[in-house]
A and B are shown apart, each in its own frame.
Chain A
Amino acid sequence: MKTLKIGFISFAHMHAVSYLNAMLERADVEVVGIADENQERVAPFTEKHGIPYFENASKLLSQEINAVVICSENARHAELTREAAAAGKHILCEKPLGLSEKEMLDMIQVCKDNHVQLMTAFPCRYLASVREAKEAIDAGKIGQIIAMKGTNRGTMPGGWFLEKEHSGGGAVLDHTVHVMDLMHWFTGSVAEQVYAHAGTLFHDTAIDDAGMVHVKFQNGVFGVLDPSWSRPKNFPTWGDVTLEVIGTEGTLYIDAFAQKNDVYSDAGGKTAAWSFWGDNMDKGLVDSFVDSLLNGSEVAISGEDGYYSARVGLAAYESAETGKPVALNKPF
């Protein structure tokens, strides 16, 4: 059996833990090392699983590995991707892909030049409800898509997410990209215009924690999504992913985390909570990445996909600043 050798670069983004667990479940994956400047942050994982620790990315990249998972702060995605690509490693990069159009186009190009694959981590594509919705849409069950409304509302994450030099933006950048990617995937089109509001409405912080992002797609479809960190502390779960799709022959509504039990407890923690029991989307993402590399096929979600969605978040800030719709051109 072929084995894929994987390295992890940075656990700054908490999704790294879930991706690591999914990698460890596979017999055909060997996790060769975890690189992080902050040893304390990754010690629970290196120690528990006996994974070698590296103090920086370049030391990890000099190892014999096929691919890396980058879960650094958003601002470091570009430099770490460049470094990994130059070392000939395939890359699964946490979203948002990058913090400027130029930076992301450069990341895509450097991976092409080095003949490595770049996959953007959009796990929502691996939600069972989302996959069935995609099949229904492709089978023409709701006719032609006319419009969409989505939400990816969350709880404020705190930490470096609130520091613009590390995150590049607040809720609007953080939470626009997932549902935006689903909108692109479902329509097969690309956003060409963005009109948005962004602001700080819920928390005592300098960065945006609220927004409303309207998009128009090249094929005439229009949509809107709410990326706000607007869930109160007592909300029964971290947040939501919903998407309503209006077609000429029908509609569909995804409420991705509706597969839950209601839990009411006096034993500590939240007194009312939702316990999600649906399939693990992060495992679906990791399996797809690993399978593509082992089969030598193209990764399912490209760097271009990551770019198309992240630039909507970036354009949303520009629109919110100017008060006008922002046009996006097609670079490829």
Chain B
Amino acid sequence: MNIAIIGCGTMGMTYAYNLGKMPGVNVSGTADLLKERAQDAASASGGKAYTDWEQMLDAESPETVAVCVPTYLHKEFVIKLARRGIHIICEKPAALTLEDAREMKQICEEQGVRLFIGHVVRFFPSYADAIHKVRSGKIGTAQMAHFKRHGSYPQGSELWYHDPAKSGGVIMDLMIHDIDYACWLFGDVESVYASVTDPSISGIEYAQITLKFQSGAIANLTGFWGYPGPFTTQFEITGDQGLIRYDSNQVQSLDLKTLAGLSKSQDAVQVPSSPALHDPYYGEVKHFIECIQSGEEPIVSISDACRAVEVALACKQSAQTGQPVPMGGTAS
């Protein structure tokens, strides 16, 4: 499989590391407007660095491209790639509006190319284990859940995360991980209610969301950009015969302390890591590549990704109006 990467920021580098060591995968090119970043990704993956992505496609003819550009550019890149007949693995969220996400889906279908959206949380071993336990009936019928995702404010190129018109803000960019997972767990959402901090409070974006599902289940999610502690994710899924919970701060299977102390440098965008043979992104991308090769449906479909965008938009609307929003209420 000949793959190229467009956008070599934090996520592009993550793809580069993982694709670079994947058997049967050849990273032919890595493109970024910033030459240094393109080169970093190239050396991590074994590809060739480009600052012009179209030149890269012409020269390398990849079968599949990983799109790791800022969210507001997803649609433009996805559509151009689809029209060239290239399969696409695109970072989440799919797009900033439901219309854009659906258009991406439609054009990829028309062009006969596969489109995958990187909702990687479904591939985290702890989250995957939990859904298997729920599906096997270990906690009876799952009825409630809590999800927490707290981290530092991501420092993307030219601070694009800070501009809600580019990133969609903490609900669309960060909490969409747990929105998608909650929908995977509980199905379709009936209504949403959300509160988010005032944008005038600099350096912090914190939100609370309650999703009420058609099944009657309830999930509460918090998301936080600007959390002063370590990147933290937690969940609790409660059923009528038990509960399952996870705290990323309670699973350190290795604790290494050195006299030299901790490094002062902090990742620009925090990506959780833990000692494992492969990180969850490896499993995710491998799964998508296998789906391209076999033609099978992925664990997370483009329809799932559209639903996550739709729910996230409803949450943003609720936070803005202070009123619950019934699902379907965001369709314009």
Contacts and interface: CB of A to CB of B under 8 A. Distances in A.
Interface of A: 146-147, 149, 151, 193, 195, 197, 199, 201-203, 210-212, 214, 216, 220, 222-224, 226, 228, 230-232, 234-235, 244, 246, 248, 250-251, 323-325
Contacts of B241: 232
Given A197-B212, A224-B220, A230-B238, A325 B197 contact: no
Given A201-B216, A210-B143, A214-B210, 19 more contacts: A147-B195, A149-B222, A151-B146, A197-B210, A197-B212, A201-B240, A202-B239, A202-B240, A210-B144, A212-B144, A212-B218, A214-B195, A216-B322, A224-B195, A226-B146, A230-B144, A251-B227, A251-B229, A325-B323
Contacts of A230: 143-144, 238, 243
Contacts of B220: 149, 212, 224, 226
A88 B238 CA distance: 47
B243 A232 contact: yes
Contacts of B243: 230-232, 235
A134 B251 CA distance: 30
A251 B228 contact: yes
Name, among A151, A199, A201, A324, the residue most crowded by chain B CB atoms within 10 Å (CB to CB): A201
B208 A147 contact: yes
Nearest to B222: A149
8 contacts: A195-B193, A195-B324, A201-B143, A201-B218, A214-B208, A230-B144, A230-B238, A325-B322
Nearest to A215: B195
A83 B322 CA distance: 43
Contacts of B201: 146, 248
A252 to B, nearest CB: 10
B204 A146 contact: yes
A210 B197 CA distance: 26
A327 to B, nearest CB: 11
Given A212-B220, A232-B241, A248 B204 contact: yes
A213 to B, nearest CB: 9
- If over half of A's interface residues share one DSSP class (helix, strand or loop), that class is named, otherwise mixed; here it is strand
A201 B143 CA distance: 6
A323 B324 contact: yes
B50 interface: no
A246 B227 CA distance: 9
B224 interface: yes
B261 to A, nearest CB: 22
Nearest to B193: A195
A202 B227 contact: no
B43 to A, nearest CB: 38
Contacts of A195: 193, 324
Given A197-B218, A224-B220, A324-B323, A216 B195 contact: yes
A250 B228 contact: yes
Nearest to A247: B204
Nearest to B141: A201
Contacts of A323: 191, 324
A323 B212 CA distance: 11
Nearest to B150: A251
B217 interface: yes
B7 to A, nearest CB: 32
B199 interface: no
Given A201-B216, A222-B195, A230-B144, A246 B206 contact: yes
A149 B208 CA distance: 8
B230 interface: no
Interface in B283-332: 322-324
Contact of B144 (A149, A193, A201, A203): A201
Name, among A146, A193, A216, A224, the residue most crowded by chain B CB atoms within 10 Å (CB to CB): A224
A201 B141 CA distance: 9
Contacts of A203: 240
A244 B193 CA distance: 19
Contacts of A146: 197-198, 201, 204, 206
A129 B206 CA distance: 24
B112 interface: no
B164 interface: no
Contact of A147 (B206, B212, B323): B206
A43 to B, nearest CB: 36
